Structure 1
């Protein structure tokens, strides 16, 4: 699974960081970003939960 955060849609709510802190972090613009595009397998479930619960659908899964 590979993910990214659309910076134009992110509203800095922090839900993804709270849900999957190993996957998402704050950037210099105080918006969420993926720590790395490739999500480690042991936290994929957390990343998927964050993607599904993002209020603005800013988290996108990348095609392989």
Structure 2
């Protein structure tokens, strides 16, 4: 859960260039985890939030 909080902090600080990095981290470190699919859903929600924020700016 701390990992997700840090991921959100990165978006809130406008570190948009970090997004692919977080995507890779999620894929490689959670690929063999039972929470993998839940994390993909979380990533989709984060991406939706990020894109809507980007469009509104």
Normalising by the residue count of structure 2, what TM-score does the alignment of the two structures yield?
A: 0.32
Of structures 1 and 2, the one with the larger relative CO (CA 8 A, separation 6+) is 1
Higher relative strand content: 1
Higher relative helix content: 2
Q: Which has the larger radius of gyration?
A: 2
